[in-house]
Structure 1
Amino acid sequence: MKKILHVMASPRGTASISRQLGDSITAQLAVSNPGSIITTVDLNVNPFPHLFEAQIDALRIPADRLTEAQKELTKRSDEAIAQVLEADTIVISLPLYNFGIPSPLKSWIDNIARAGYTFSYGADGPKGLVEGKKVYIALASGGVFSEGPFKEYDFAVPYLKTVLGFMGITDVEVIRAEGTAVSGLMEHALERAIERIAV
């Protein structure tokens, strides 16, 4: 049995190719691990607010010194971090937007990348505190970015691998549905991506 956290960042709902790919990954994980518990977080249905001054201040204060108002400001961050720490496997579904990640996913990351909770600073520098997790990135893109002339334009995967690694998550696998806006590729982009899933 595994605890699987599926984080979805596309605003297109069930029509989203990245979501369908992520759903296929979680489904195969559940088959491979009977009795698994799947928690789904749709960042467009229940988005995290972009960080603002009062929240940033509250996130930097030790929990035992927070006022009641500040506890409210950190509540969703606390809940998101708890979900990440409890999960054995995390599936992140997202489209590649303007060479990067959608803003709802960035807001979620800003709420889980938190000093003292998911990483720390010490005499030897930063240390990730989230260990033993496997992450699958289900990425959909209109063009082909895994290779060829547009490879250097993909800032989503390098960013995600960097920030996840900073928090201690280094076992990251990327599964791409590419060419979803390219004739001759779009017709089978999702099907080919699903065929590459190995969990």
Structure 2
Amino acid sequence: MSAKKIISILGSVNQDSLSNKINNLVTSRLFKKYPNSEITLLNLANSPFSKLMLNGKDTNSFWEDTEAKMWIERLKEADYVVINSPMINFNYSVLVKNFIDAICIDDHSFSYKYSKQNGSVGLLNKMKVILIGTQGAPKGWYTFGDHLKMLEGTFGFLGANKIKSLLVAGTKTAPLKDMSHDEIIAKYDDEINSLIEL
């Protein structure tokens, strides 16, 4: 199979997190499927996105300081984007939020002027997006807090070609709370493999 451009975005504040580990595994399996692919790793916890956010002090320089337009261009060229986040207080991590704030720029990653009806057109339409989420609570406990659904909507808005998600829920409840990360990953191996078929 031909080589691909793959961007792996680690979105957890905990470097040893389950979601980071699954992201690394998915990225390595994509590389195995598409040898000689170009992989760009963005660890948000060790990047400007861990320090910079939209606020009243640096709004004008935010997009420049985060190299937003460079990341948008990389996303436009990417075949696959793999991004993960745990649920933190019913949402995705602030690291992922800061990244999304940086890349959502009118007429760069989406546009209203090309829209035919009350809406927008996503300009990042080459990439296939693989989303990996984890949460302590079982799925459905907090209907108001669906961090993967929000990410699916955001990347759909930006024009993603295809989106596939994996949620590992209930990590703080039995039986997952008594399992190691390796055991949980083994339990979800089929679902992880299905992400590669996107």
Please list every run of at least 4 consecutive aligned residues from structure 1 whose deviation after the TM superposition is greater than 6 angstroms: none
Aligned to 1:2: 4
Q: Which residue in 2 is equivalent to 1:136? A: 130
| 1:167 and 2:158 aligned | yes
Corresponding residue SS for 1:196: helix
Q: Tell me the residue number matched to 1:193.
A: 188
Match of 1:68 in 2: none
Q: TM-score, normalised by structure 1?
A: 0.83
The Cα offsets for residues 129-150 of structure 1, whole Å up to 9 and x where unpaired, read as 11121111111111222xxx41
Identity among equivalent pairs (%): 25
1:189 Cα offset (Å): 2.7
RMSD: 2.1
- TM-score of the pair, normalised by structure 2: 0.83
2: CA distance between counterparts of 1:151 and 1:54? 34
The total of aligned residue pairs comes to 183
Question: Does the CA-based 8 Å contact 1:177-1:190 persist in structure 2?
Answer: no
Gaps of 5+ in 2: none
Q: How does 1:25-44 map to 2 (within 5 A)?
A: 25-44=26-45
Summarize deviations over 1:98-122 as a string: whole Å, max 9, x none.
1111111101000001111110112
1:119-170 deviation digits (Å, cap 9, x = unpaired): 011262411111121111111111222xxx4161432112111111111115
Q: Distance in 2 between matches of 1:75 and 1:102?
A: 17
**Is the 8 Å Cα contact of residues 21 and 193 (structure 1) preserved in structure 2?**
no
Q: Distance in 2 between matches of 1:115 and 1:53?
A: 20
1:108 and 2:109 aligned: no
